[in-house]
Amino acid sequence: MEGRRYVCIGDHDFIPPTVASLLMERVVAMGRRLGGKPLFFGRGTIVMGYADRTVIAVYTTNDDRAMDVIAFGINRHAHLSGATAHLASVLSQNYGSLGVAKQRLTRVPPSVLDDAFVDHPCQHPLLGPCQLVPVTTAVRDDPSTVLPEWLAVEYEVALPEILWWSSHRKKETRLAIFLRDSKAEHAQLLVDPSVVSETWEGMVAASAAAPADAHPP
């Protein structure tokens, strides 16, 4: 399981309902392009099943202050990358002034739950006990080729269309233009390791304890 929470930075800001509805609509469309189907619809929530048995969930918190994008399955990183690209596009095109911070959302292992010296984690309605860690994101200077191919195509579908009069840009991908031209707060919403580098507290320890995981096929 791999997840990201996007939480409003401003004390009085909230996730507009149209952001949730647009993102859910886009995640469903992405799933259908890949042979998947919706498994659950709810208030600000959708669970989408994919043909490769990956599952994507989008959830808006009850106070409308944050939105979660969660992926399960062997190809979870690639599907999470596609879904967050759509979120970055929705926010940059329609709500450019809304600032959101990114956090890594993970389930809490039983060993931590049993430790009386660890602060009680948040209770997630879809996942149970979870923990949130702030994520620092930097766009890579030389983004590598996006794999798998369907994800590269999804970026072309998700990100803003290249203006017709920008003929010199037509040789560039939408992703390349988005990374160069978008505000930093929008590019940092992406999670694809081929285009951004993410770091968070405890990352080295977690990577050492986890089995090797190649870039998603």
pLDDT digits (tens, 9 = 90+) for 133-185: 999 999 988 777 889 999 999 999 999 876 655 555 567 888 988 888 876 67
Q: Do residues 148 and 78 make contact, with C-beta atoms less than 8 angstroms apart?
A: yes
Tell me the C-alpha distance between 193 and 80, whole Å: 11
**Is the per-residue pLDDT at 217 higher than 50?**
no
pTM: 0.88
Residue with tokens 């988005």: 178
C-alpha dist (Å) from residue 143 to 102, 104, 147, 148, 192: 20, 22, 12, 14, 10
Tell me the C-alpha distance between 104 and 102, whole Å: 7
DSSP secondary structure, 100-163, as one string: EEEEEEEEPPHHHHT-TTSPPPEEETTTEEEEEEEEEEEE-SS----SSHHHHHHHHHHSPPPP
CB atoms < 10 A from the CB of 5, how many? 25
pLDDT (0 to 100) of residue 116? 62
Q: What residue spans of the chain are helical by DSSP H?
A: 17-33, 76-94, 110-113, 149-158, 174-181, 184-187, 203-209
Tell me the C-alpha distance between 119 and 81, whole Å: 30
pLDDT (0 to 100) of residue 213? 42
pLDDT (0 to 100) of residue 210? 41
Tell me the C-alpha distance between 47 and 3, whole Å: 13
pLDDT (0 to 100) of residue 177? 85
Tell me the C-alpha distance between 110 and 173, whole Å: 44
Q: Do residues 185 and 135 make contact, with C-beta atoms less than 8 angstroms apart?
A: no
Residue with tokens 């879904």: 83
pLDDT (0 to 100) of residue 204? 57
Q: Kindly report the backbone phi and psi dihedral angles of residue 197, in degrees, each rounded to the nearest multiple of 5, phi listed first.
A: -115, 120
Q: Do residues 69 and 91 make contact, with C-beta atoms less than 8 angstroms apart?
A: no
pLDDT tens digits for range 58-84? 999 999 999 999 999 999 999 999 999
Q: Is the pLDDT higher at 131 or at 116?
A: 131
Band of the pLDDT at 205, cuts 50, 70, 90? very low
pLDDT (0 to 100) of residue 202? 79
Q: Kindly report the backbone phi and psi dihedral angles of residue 196, in degrees, each rounded to the nearest multiple of 5, phi listed first.
A: -135, 160
